[in-house]
Amino acid sequence: MITIDWNAFTPWSALAGGALIGLATVILLLLNGRIAGISGIVGGLFDRAAGETGWRLTFTLGLLAGPALWAAFHTLPPIQIEADYPLLVVAGLLVGLGTRYASGCTSGHGVCGLSRLSPRSLVATLVFMGAGFTTVYVTRHLLGG
């Protein structure tokens, strides 16, 4: 059973955040001709192609600066991760492997690809979401986690 804490339900801030993500992806596409897929942007930092490092580094630093800026004025909610470090490392590696096989991540396919009506992005997003739903179901209900 799912319970919603209506006192903490913030649809307006979620809507504003989603609109800002959409606006940022449109600006990146219009000004740089690039898709805002985080795995591709961060992965490109390691390729060191000429003229590619500056914008990728700026984008990545902006992602990291957002929560830091918010924390300067507000209290961040506590982070609770109910997994040990080896499991987190394996999970991270599996996500990285999946983004390589799918030629992108949820931000690239789910946000940018779906908005461009890309059939490949639709399939990738359905697979991402299906894998997530299945993982939660198996770990919470079948394995008793």
* pLDDT tens column, 135-144: 889 988 888 7
Q: Range of 92's domain? A: 81-145
CB atoms within 10 A of CB 19: 10
CA–CA–CA angle 56, 59, 60 (5° rounding): 85
Number of domains into which the chain is organized: 1
Whether residue 36 lies inside any domain: the answer is: no
5-42 pLDDT per residue, tens: 777 778 888 899 889 988 988 898 899 888 888 888 88
Q: Answer yes or no: pTM beyond 0.85.
A: no
Euclidean distance between CA atoms 70 and 91, whole angstroms: 27
Whether residue 118 lies inside any domain: the answer is: yes
